Chains A and B, each alone.
Chain A
Amino acid sequence: TQLLEQSPQFLSIQEGENLTVYCNSSSVFSSLQWYRQEPGEGPVLLVTVVTGGEVKKLKRLTFQFGDARKDSSLHITAAQPGDTGLYLCAARLNNAGNMLTFGGGTRLMVKP
């Protein structure tokens, strides 16, 4: 069992649809980051959330951090083909220093 559970693992949608990706754990995070990765490249940082209940918006992307700092979600509105990629959540757990623990990832495909 992974420390960080991401769901769904795969998502294939049409352009213009909305979607939500979830990242859950039984452990408390000191901070959580969302990354997007394209094939053959390193993950690109999208956002960092630190405070329980925090909501951050980045254009069509909305990120939420759970009140208890054990879960997070990424919502994309009106998805576009350019949103296609692997979305990863990564958490800094309490007492784990700067080590990031990653979820298994959500592979998103947006069809035109």
Chain B
Amino acid sequence: KAGVTQTPRYLIKTRGQQVTLSCSPISGHRSVSWYQQTPGQGLQFLFEYFSETQRNKGNFPGRFSGRQFSNSRSEMNVSTLELGDSALYLCASMRVAGSYEQYFGPGTRLTVT
């Protein structure tokens, strides 16, 4: 079974631009969560989507948004990029029914210059 895939793997953007990251969950997994990983703050939860609805949101500004499509694929968008948004963005998928386990993709390394 294929794992979680994320595209692109690497991205360089300039301050003020916006960016869209994509995540395809494991087949049959209906929940997708996004996390930001930085050396200073570690791994922090951004939001979770299930059945195209945002179920939970972390403590991030409104510049961070996301959505989920009917095939469970998800995208997250960051508008008006700041230098501090440079991070590894990780997507995790979960089957939901009867499972507590989240499986992570390889991440998208975003660098803001």
Contacts and interface: CB of A to CB of B under 8 A. Distances in A.
Interface size class of A (residues with CB under 8 A): 20 to 34
A104 B45 CA distance: 13
B86 interface: no
A104 B31 CA distance: 24
B106 A98 contact: no
Tell me what chain B mostly uses at the interface: helix, strand, loop, or mixed: strand
Interface stretch (B60-68, B74-82, B94-102): B94-102
A64 interface: no
Contacts of A82: none
21 contacts: A2-B42, A33-B100, A40-B107, A42-B6, A42-B104, A42-B107, A45-B102, A45-B103, A97-B48, A98-B31, A98-B33, A98-B102, A99-B58, A100-B45, A100-B92, A100-B102, A101-B45, A102-B42, A102-B44, A103-B42, A105-B42
Contact of A41 (B35, B92, B102, B106): B106
B81 to A, nearest CB: 21
Interface residues of B, number: 26
Contacts of A40: 106-107, 109
A43 interface: yes
Q: Which residue among B55, B101, B104 has the maximum number of chain A CB atoms within 10 Å of its CB?
A: B104
Interface string B8-44: 0000000000000000000000010101000000111
